């Protein structure tokens, strides 16, 4: 770990067309297709660390490894925001050796990411909202599948508590690419 205290932070989101990540009953995996997932592996490999939340670990038991085509020189570290120490000792995260898994025992995202130059957030709606509200997200990579989950589905960003539109975080779109049946939209934060 080297570099500036404030890393460049990418928030990766994978949703339905209407910005949902799960059904009301929690069913959520494989919303986006194989081409999107292949791109996510490349993105993981290009970041020094992946930050996730205990909600995601408990719901999905992800490995959070970078498995891009052609292999990966160095696996990114994994930071798990877990203030209550609920990460199971048998979690799939621990199966991959040769990388640093940090169970973060507080809720301060900036402190958790300090010391890294680049961090990719792959987490649920709560961590995504906290990171945006704290002004920590520089870039969003949004993978959108051509599927509708409806208003009873779980929104990709939890409550931001905005009271005026002037306070809304604003991004500018920097790219749109087809990933199989999905779209990948890239955004940079401007406010
Ligand atoms: N489609 C996607 O891109 C994507 C990606 C990942 C996950 N998911 C889905 O998201 C769902 C889980 O979402 P989630 O919102 O429950 O989980 P999450 O955002 O991954 O984790 C939330 C938990 O993190 C802890 N935490 C620590 N610091 C925090 C902070 N600063 N702000 C917010 N939370 C903090 C809290 O637990 P403590 O208070 O115990 O510390 C909180 O309950 C699953 O269904 C999963 O499949 C979707």
Retrieve residue 175's tokens: 């790219």
Domains in the chain: boundaries: 8-189
User: What pLDDT does residue 26 have?
Assistant: 81
Ligand 1 atom closest to the CA of 107, numbered from 1: 28
Full-model pTM: 0.95
46-74 burial, b at 16+ Cβ within 10 Å, e below that, comes to ebbbbbbbbbbbeeeebebbbeeeeebee
User: Which of 124, 147, 155 for a ligand 1 pocket mutation test, highest count of atoms within 8 Å of Cβ?
Assistant: 124
State the CB neighbour count (10 A cutoff) for residue 148. Answer: 11
User: What pLDDT does residue 191 have?
Assistant: 86
CA of 56 to the centre of ligand 1 (A): 5
Q: Which residues line the pocket of ligand 1, CB cutoff 6 A?
A: 13-15, 21-22, 26, 28, 52-56, 59-60, 81-84, 86, 107, 109, 122-127, 130
Q: Would you say 40 and 155 are in contact if contact means Cβ atoms under 8 Å apart? A: no
CA of 59 to the centre of ligand 1 (A): 9
Ligand 1 atom closest to the CA of 21, numbered from 1: 1
User: What pLDDT does residue 1 have?
Assistant: 47
State the CB neighbour count (10 A cutoff) for residue 190. Answer: 8
18-38 burial, b at 16+ Cβ within 10 Å, e below that, comes to eebbbeeeeebeebbbeebbe
pLDDT means over runs of 10, the chain (191 residues): 74 97 84 96 97 96 93 94 98 93 98 97 97 97 97 96 96 98 98 86
What's domain 8-189's architecture?
Answer: 3-Layer(aba) Sandwich (3.40)
User: What pLDDT does residue 88 have?
Assistant: 98
């Amino acid at each position: 770990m080297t570099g500036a205290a404030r890393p460049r932070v990418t928030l990766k989101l994978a949703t339905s067309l209407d910005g949902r990540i799960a059904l009301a009953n929690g069913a959520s995996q494989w919303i986006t297709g194989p081409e999107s997932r292949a791109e996510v592996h490349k993105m993981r490999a290009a970041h020094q660390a992946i930050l996730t939340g205990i909600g995601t670990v408990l719901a999905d038991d992800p490995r959070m490894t970078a498995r891009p085509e052609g292999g990966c020189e160095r696996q990114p570290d994994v930071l798990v925001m877990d203030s209550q120490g609920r990460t199971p000792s048998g979690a799939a995260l621990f199966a991959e050796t040769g990388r640093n898994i940090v169970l973060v025992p507080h809720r301060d995202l900036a402190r958790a990411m300090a010391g890294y130059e680049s961090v990719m957030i792959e987490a649920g709606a709560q961590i995504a909202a906290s990171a945006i509200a704290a002004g920590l997200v520089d870039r969003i990579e949004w993978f959108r599948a051509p599927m509708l989950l409806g208003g009873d589905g779980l929104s990709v960003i939890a409550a931001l508590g905005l009271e005026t539109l002037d306070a809304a975080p604003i991004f500018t779109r920097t790219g749109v690419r087809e990933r199989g049946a999905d779209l990948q939209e890239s955004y940079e934060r401007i406010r």
